[in-house]
Structure 1
C-alpha cells in the first residue's frame, strides 16, 4: 500500500523516547488498530479507512462514557492484582496463556491478598474476569478456552475449600427491615437533620436505593402525586435501574415515606436559604452540626449517614447504604407482590439472580420446598 493513513494510533504505535532518552515499548493495542486501518485502506481506499478509524474512535469514547465508575475502579484494582501476581510468579505481564491464568487463580485463592491470605472465590472470580478484559485491552490474545480452563480451576478449587471447611465469603448482608425502619424513624430528632434522615431512609427503602441514587437526585426529580411520590432515578448502572419509581402512602404514618419527604422539604424551605429548595438543587443536602446546609450529599456521605442513623436508633446490626436496597425485596409487603413488579420498582433486570438471592428467607423455613409434602 503506497498511501498512509494518519491516525492517533500511528503516533502511539511507534516507540518514542522518554525523558531519559530510552525508547518506550510499543502499544500492542495501538499497533493492532493501525494494522486494521491499513487493511481497510487496502479494501476501501484511504478516505474510507480514515472515516472507519474515526468511527472506531467514537465507539471507544462512547464505551468509556457509559462504563460506570465502579466498573472502571474494579478494572484498575484487578489489574494491580494481576501485576502483583506477575511479579511474584516472574511471568510476563502481557501474556494470558492457559497456564498463567490457572496459576493466577490458584495464587489468588492461596495467598493473593496483600496480607498473605487467599481471596474469597467470588473476589477471585471478579479479578479473573477484569484481568482478562485488561489483557485484551492491551492487545493480548486471550482465548475463550484458556479463560474457561482458569474458571474451571477456580470453581474446582473453591469446592475443595468448602470441603476443607473454609468459608471465606462474608455472606449476604442482613438488609433493612420494617422493625428497623420504625426504630430509625423514632430516633430521628425534631430537627432539619432529623427530618432529612427520616426522609432519606424511608424513601430509599421503598425504591431499593443504592447509595448513589439519593446522592444523585435533584429536588425536581422527586414529584408529588395524588397517590404518593414519583422518584426519577437517573444514576442507575443499567437500563433497568434508570427508572421512575413510584412510592405510595404507607398505612403507618410514623414510617410513611411520603409524609417524611414532605415534612423534610417543608422544613428545608423554612429554615435554609431558598436556593436549596430550587428544582435544580440536591434533593438531599448535607447539614453540619449547627444545622447549616453545606451542599449536596455524595454516595459516601449517604452511606455514613445511614450508618450514623442506625447507630442512633441502636438497631442490633449497624446498617450501611446498601441495606436499604437489599432489605425491601424480602420484606413481607414486597414478597406479596409480583416478582416483575419488584424488579421494576427496584431497578433490577427481570428474573435477576441477585434479586432472587435477596428475596430468599434467612431461615428457609417459610418457603421450604419440602413443606407440606407429607
Structure 2
C-alpha cells in the first residue's frame, strides 16, 4: 500500500468553450452518482405517471399534480423516506431548469406533513453486524479465491473503519498507508464532507483471521493493485473487472454500493442471519454498537465514525446499553 498522494490538478482551459465544458463537468459533480441515479429514477416515474394521467408535459409541474402524485405513491405503500426523495428530485429538476419550484408551496408541504403523520417517519434501521456476528460471517469466506480475499477485506475493513458504503466504493489504493499500529485511511469525501476536505482515520490491527489490515494487504497483493479503486468486481475465472469513471467521486470506482450490500447480505445468510435486515450499513452500525458495548467513549467512537453530532451516535450507545444498569433490575 502506498502513501497518500494528492490528486493531479486539472489543466486550465484556454478558450471560452473549454471553460464552459469544464464548468459543466464541475456542475455534474454537485452530487453523488447514487443520488443522481435516485433522482433520475424518480423523475422517470413522475413523467410516466403524468403520461398515464394524460398530461402532455410534466414540467413545469403544478402543485396539484405533484400533490396527487405524492398521494398516489403514499397509497401504494411507499415509505416516507422514499416519497421525500421524490420531493427532493422534483425540487432539484425545477431549480436546475430555472422553473418555479412547486415543492415550496404550503399546501404541498401540508400534504407531506400529513403523509409523515399517517405513515410514520421512523427510518428503517439495518441490523448491526457486531463483532461476534462478523466473525461468523467472515468464517464463511473462501479465502483461497481472489473473490474471497476481496470479500474478507471488504467486510473487515468496512467494520474496522465504520465506513459508509459510498466511502468503501470510492476508496483508492493511494488512500491507504500501513504502519506498525495499523492502517491509516484518508477519506476524500463523505456524506458529512460534501466539500471533500478529507479526513484520515486509523484502522487498528486485529488478531488472526479477523485482522482488517492483514486482510486488505492480502487482497491488494493478490489482485496486484498499485493504484485506483481498492474494491473491484471479480469476474469469471477470477479476472478483475476494470474500474468505471465517476464524475461525482472524481475518481474511478470499482464495486457499486448495491454490490457491497449484496456481499454483506450473502455472508449474513451464510451465518444463519436474516439477510433482509442486513446491508452495507450493518458494518458501520456493527462497529459502533460493539465499541459502545465495550465501553468506548463517544468521542473515541466519533474519531472513527466521523459523526458530526453526538445525538446521532447516541443511538448506537443506547442500543448497546439497553439493559445495562437497568432501572428495573431486581424489582421483580
Length-normalised TM-score, structure 2:
0.72
Distance 1:212 1:77, change over 3 A: same
CA–CA distance in structure 2, aligned partners of residues 226 and 140 of structure 1? 56
Count residues with an aligned counterpart.
299
Shift of 1:192: 4.2
Moved over 6 A (4+): 54-58
SS of 1:361's equivalent?
Answer: helix
1:258 counterpart (204, 209, 213) = 213
Shift of 1:76: 1.3
Shift of 1:121: 1.9
Q: Report the counterpart of residue 129 of structure 2 in structure 1.
A: 176
Q: Report the counterpart of residue 246 of structure 2 in structure 1.
A: none
Shift of 1:284: 3.7
CA–CA distance in structure 1, aligned partners of residues 143 and 68 of structure 2? 58
Summarize the alignment of residues 16-31 of structure 1 with structure 2, pairs less than 5 Å apart.
none
1:76 counterpart (25, 40, 44) = 40
Residue pair 1:212, 1:235 contacting (<8 A) in 2 also: no
SS of 1:140's equivalent?
Answer: coil
Shift of 1:313: 3.6
CA–CA distance in structure 2, aligned partners of residues 358 and 152 of structure 1? 32
Question: Gapped runs of 5+ residues in structure 2?
Answer: 1-15, 244-253
CA–CA distance in structure 2, aligned partners of residues 218 and 314 of structure 1? 32
Shift of 1:178: 1.0
Length-normalised TM-score, structure 1:
0.65
Shift of 1:305: 3.2
2:289 counterpart (322, 330, 333) = 330
Residue pair 2:185, 2:202 contacting (<8 A) in 1 also: yes
Q: Report the counterpart of residue 37 of structure 1 in structure 2.
A: none
SS of 1:159's equivalent?
Answer: helix
CA–CA distance in structure 2, aligned partners of residues 55 and 288 of structure 1? 39
Summarize the alignment of residues 1-374 of structure 1 with structure 2, pairs less than 5 Å apart.
61-90=25-54, 93-110=58-75, 117-142=76-101, 145-146=104-105, 148-161=106-119, 171-193=124-146, 194-234=148-188, 236-239=190-193, 242-250=198-206, 252-265=207-220, 268=222, 276-277=224-225, 279-280=226-227, 282-287=229-234, 291=238, 293=240, 297-299=254-256, 300-317=258-275, 319-333=278-292, 336-348=295-307, 350-351=308-309, 355=313, 357=315, 360-361=318-319, 364-366=322-324
Shift of 1:351: 0.9
